[in-house]
Amino acid sequence: MSHLLIRGMKLFIRTISIFLLATSALHGQSLKAFLNAGAEAMEDSDYYNACYYFQSALEFDTTNVDVHYLYAQASFKLKAYTRAESSFQYILDHDADQLHPLASFYLGLTQQNLGKYDLARTHFQLYLSESEGDDPYYTARAEKEIAAVEWAQDRILNPREGLNVERLNDSINTAYSEFAAVKNGSSLFYSSLRFEKEEKSQLVNRLFSKILRYEEAGTNEPLDEEFHQGGQHFANMAFSHDASSVYYTICEYSQGVELRCDIYKRVIDESGKWGAAQKLPSAINDSLSTNTQPSIAYDLRLDKEVLYFVSDREGGKGKLDIWYSIINSNGYSDPINLESVNTIENEISPFYHSPTSTLYFSTDGRLGMGGYDVYSSVKVNGTFEDPVNEEALINSSFDDVYYVLNSEGTEAYFSSNRIGSLYLDDSYEACCFDIYRAEIEDKPVELKILSYNELTRNPLNGTRVIIIDPLTDEVVFESLSPTENEHNFTVRYRREYTIITEKEGFQTDETSIKINQLEPIDKKIYLTPLAVKLDVYAYDDITRDPLPGVLVTVNNLDRDALPKLEFNESGNDFSFDINAGYNYEIIADKTGYERVIEPVNNLLIINGIIRQDVFLRPIELNEYLPVCVYFDNDRPDRRSNKLYTDKSYSETYDEYVSKKDEFKEQLSFTLSEKLAIEAEDEVERFFDKNVKQGYEMLLLFIGKLKQRLEAGDKIEISLKGYASPRAQNKYNLAIGQRRIWTIKNEIRQFENSVLEQYIDSGMLQVVEVSFGEETAPDNVSDSYQDRRSSIYSVDASRERKAEIVRVRVLNKND
């Protein structure tokens, strides 16, 4: 046990009868005798009797400032804060010569422990104004406590949310001190300083502590006598991670009422019986120090158990420090001081919460509410982060210690001597500890996992995310997102999780995350891509048969790299080495077939292989018909009766398109504003949909025609030419014929006359039909005087055209 709980024992080491004994023994004694007895009690840390002797001394002279100071110090040590406050205040009011400069400092500490923060700040400031710099320790401490009381006042007004704290019932808590509660299964184990042991050498029986087991069914009794055999005080029970063994302390009196403790262990057999007591080795139980308050932790990072404990051994940072030792198969490592949490004051009652990798402990050396406050420190990558105060409700202006938390983080037990705890003597209301229980709201935290390609840093779709509780290896969440890189989960505050992110073709990532904030968390995961095989198979889209003679090209769309090409003359299978981290496209070409261009489906990686089937469709030229192109009025070759022309359609197209605005202007010139807008819109649609798209379809058709000819087909195409009815019929037949020739010329000149050989050899035959104006609708004007309708109207424009109307493959049954 620490000196903190030893103080609770000291109050009851002697009962009220000692006053009678002391009064009888010292009756008629001098002031000096009381002062000497008080000094001796202080030296033995017997603050209860020290208070009695100094109080008796005050009866000789109630105005003696020096005796008041001794009495105030003893009362403060005993945590009889009300009496200490009264005496320190008396000193400030009557110490005209300022013989006790620390009185204002201790009055501030006393009032801080009583929760009188405004008064405490005033007296800390008074000390600094009168004695700042006289003693560096007290100067720094006063400055720290001023900040602490201001911080505490704010926390009291804004207590931590989601907490409900209650004192356990009177069957557990007594007027003595109860502490170090820990739950194992349905049992609550705790220590209590309520037991007497008869000792003939003592004037009265001393009190000592035992470990009790409380069951909700009603059982509440000490562990068996065999467990408590062999020592004075038994306390501070802590179970191993798997509850197969238990650690605890045995303490004995070393000087006066001071205690010295060692740590013991017992193995628990399968039937639940305690094994023999085993004192931990001398590396842990240093004979020159007290070693107490064990806590056994399972460290996920180390995959080992760790013993945390409290000791005042040499090599520490302060008075009582937290130390740790790693438990190996061959024993315990040499203890290491946990410097990142220890201060020059006291750190006690450590508890390591394995699910969240968080160490909870109490300290009087940091910013706090007063007395000992519970702090927590999260272990990240093997290092404990800056401790955080657990704030109001858990902490009070009194001492709050022995904080333990269940695995779910929803229930905590701790001990406190705060107002509301039981005590025997109203004069010493801050002496004794009771056990409190805190219900902690299970706070959800939104966790978003975003997966990325480590190579390109682009979002990576199709990943699977698995979230595991590392303590139980239980899968708590699993998510597959085929079309997005985002996975959303609701996790628990202050928990640690293992995140496994995987995708076929990528190296699996495993990482851990500690949820140490309530705000939504975005976690980015980068997966490293692996080399994979891309197997491509080509098929005829009509017959679904394997298709030989295909050229397959694979292009990397994410980087400037040479394409990968394979030609398989006799088979339909292709294989490429690619990297799963890049985006690729497949291009499949075969003469007489439509070109296929499609992305590689990275979601279909199985055992390091992507299989992709491509289906090539034979080119069916009739599917593109009719191909219809349009002409300007009296084009090509104006005012000519020739039946042919040297111009290609491309040569007439650019000139025609450039006159679009002229057609709009002429058609809308005499119309009202509304009708003019409608007329202009009609012209715009005609040029975009008919003229432009007709030209594009002509070039596409000729390209497909080229592929069929290259495949060895003999083809016949039928062309028709048309004219608007504005001119004489004979003239219109001639211009219709010239318009057919523009298509013939376009075919002959295509791609530097590549098709000319097929025309000359008869592999490509053209059948020509000119309809002139014979098919023009009756509503198309033929009036020379009405230029607006006969030239610029859309109806007239639709009649000035040439078409490819039919395709025959002469060497097939098409």
Q: Residues of the chain with pLDDT > 70: what percent?
A: 91
Q: Of 136, 162, 188, which one is at a domain's C-terminal end?
A: 162
Mean pLDDT over 314-341 rounds to 94
Whether 264 and 386 share a structural domain: yes
Average pLDDT, the chain: 87
Residue 586: predicted pLDDT: 97
- In one-letter notation, the amino acid at residue 216 is E
Whether 224 and 311 share a structural domain: yes
Q: pLDDT tens-digit profile of 200-235?
A: 544 445 678 899 999 987 789 999 888 887 667 899
Residue 13: predicted pLDDT: 38
Which residues lie across from 618 on neighbouring strands? 593
Confidence of residue 612 (pLDDT cuts 50, 70, 90): very high
Whether 550 and 520 share a structural domain: no
What sign does the CA torsion over 535, 538, 542, 545 have? Answer: negative
Whether 204 and 343 share a structural domain: yes
Confidence of residue 302 (pLDDT cuts 50, 70, 90): confident
Domain total of the chain? 5
Whether 755 and 626 share a structural domain: yes
Q: Is the pLDDT of residue 5 over 70?
A: no
The secondary element (H helix, E strand) that includes residue 38 is helix 31-43
Q: How far apart are CA 696 and CA 530, in angstroms?
A: 43
Whether 399 and 497 share a structural domain: no
Whether 411 and 422 share a structural domain: yes
Mean pLDDT over 81-101 rounds to 90
Q: How far apart are CA 189 and CA 176, in angstroms?
A: 16
In a domain, 15, yes or no: yes
Residue 775: predicted pLDDT: 54
Q: How many C-beta neighbours within 10 Å does residue 561 have?
A: 10
Residue 20: predicted pLDDT: 37
Whether 435 and 448 share a structural domain: no
User: Which whole-number Å values give the CA distances from 779 to 354, 675, 696, 771, in the listed order?
Assistant: 90, 19, 29, 18
Q: What are the structure tokens assigned to 71, written together?
A: 């009495």
Lowest pLDDT segment from 452-461, 478-487, 681-690, 803-812: 803-812
Q: pLDDT tens-digit profile of 249-270?
A: 999 877 656 778 999 999 998 8
Residue 772: predicted pLDDT: 45
Q: Is the pLDDT of residue 782 over 90?
A: no
pTM beyond cutoff 0.75: no
Mean pLDDT over 184-206 rounds to 73
Confidence of residue 814 (pLDDT cuts 50, 70, 90): very low
Match 């590392």 to its residue by tokens. 470
In a domain, 374, yes or no: yes
Residue 258: predicted pLDDT: 72
Q: pLDDT tens-digit profile of 72-87?
A: 999 898 888 888 999 9
Whether 537 and 520 share a structural domain: no
Q: What are the structure tokens assigned to 536, written together?
A: 């491509």
Confidence of residue 181 (pLDDT cuts 50, 70, 90): very high
Q: Is the pLDDT of residue 392 over 80?
A: yes
Mean pLDDT over 92-115 rounds to 90
Whether 427 and 308 share a structural domain: yes
Q: Of 616, 634, 666, which one is at a domain's C-terminal end?
A: 616
Q: pLDDT tens-digit profile of 118-143?
A: 999 999 999 999 988 889 999 999 99
CATH number of the domain within which 470 lies: 2.60.40.10
- Measure CA 221 to chain center: 45
Q: What are the structure tokens assigned to 644, written together?
A: 């042919």
In a domain, 814, yes or no: no
Q: How many C-beta neighbours within 10 Å does residue 398 have?
A: 25
Q: Is 542 buried (19+), middle (13-18) or exposed (0-12) by CB count in 10 A?
A: exposed
Residue 345: predicted pLDDT: 93
Q: Of 526, 549, 567, which one is at a domain's C-terminal end?
A: 526
Confidence of residue 7 (pLDDT cuts 50, 70, 90): very low
Q: Is the pLDDT of residue 293 over 90?
A: yes
User: Which whole-number Å values give the CA distances from 308 to 239, 262, 263, 291, in the listed order?
Assistant: 12, 13, 11, 10
Confidence of residue 29 (pLDDT cuts 50, 70, 90): low
Extract long-range pairs of 645-650: CB within 8 Å, 24+ residues apart: 645/738, 645/741, 645/742, 645/745, 646/745, 647/741, 647/742, 647/745, 648/742, 648/745, 648/746, 648/748, 648/749, 649/695, 649/698, 649/742, 649/743, 649/745, 649/746, 649/802, 650/695, 650/746
Residue 295: predicted pLDDT: 96
Q: Is 125 helix (H, G, I), strand (E, B) or coil?
A: helix
Residue 372: predicted pLDDT: 94
Lowest pLDDT segment from 156-170, 280-294, 496-510, 571-585: 156-170
Cβ neighbours of residue 255 closer than 8 Å, sequence gap 6 or more? 44, 45
Q: What are the structure tokens assigned to 504, written together?
A: 């076929």
Q: Which residue has the higher pLDDT, 226 or 744?
A: 744
- 652: nearest Cα among 627, 634, 626, 667: 634
Q: Which residue has the higher pLDDT, 449 or 619?
A: 449
Full residue range of the structural domain in which residue 602 is found? 531-616
Q: Is the pLDDT of residue 461 over 80?
A: yes
Residue 15: predicted pLDDT: 34
Confidence of residue 432 (pLDDT cuts 50, 70, 90): confident
Residue 155: predicted pLDDT: 79
Whether 270 and 405 share a structural domain: yes
Cβ neighbours of residue 671 closer than 8 Å, sequence gap 6 or more? 679
Range list of H helices, 167-283: 225-228
Mean pLDDT over 321-345 rounds to 95
Whether 595 and 610 share a structural domain: yes
Mean pLDDT over 54-63 rounds to 91
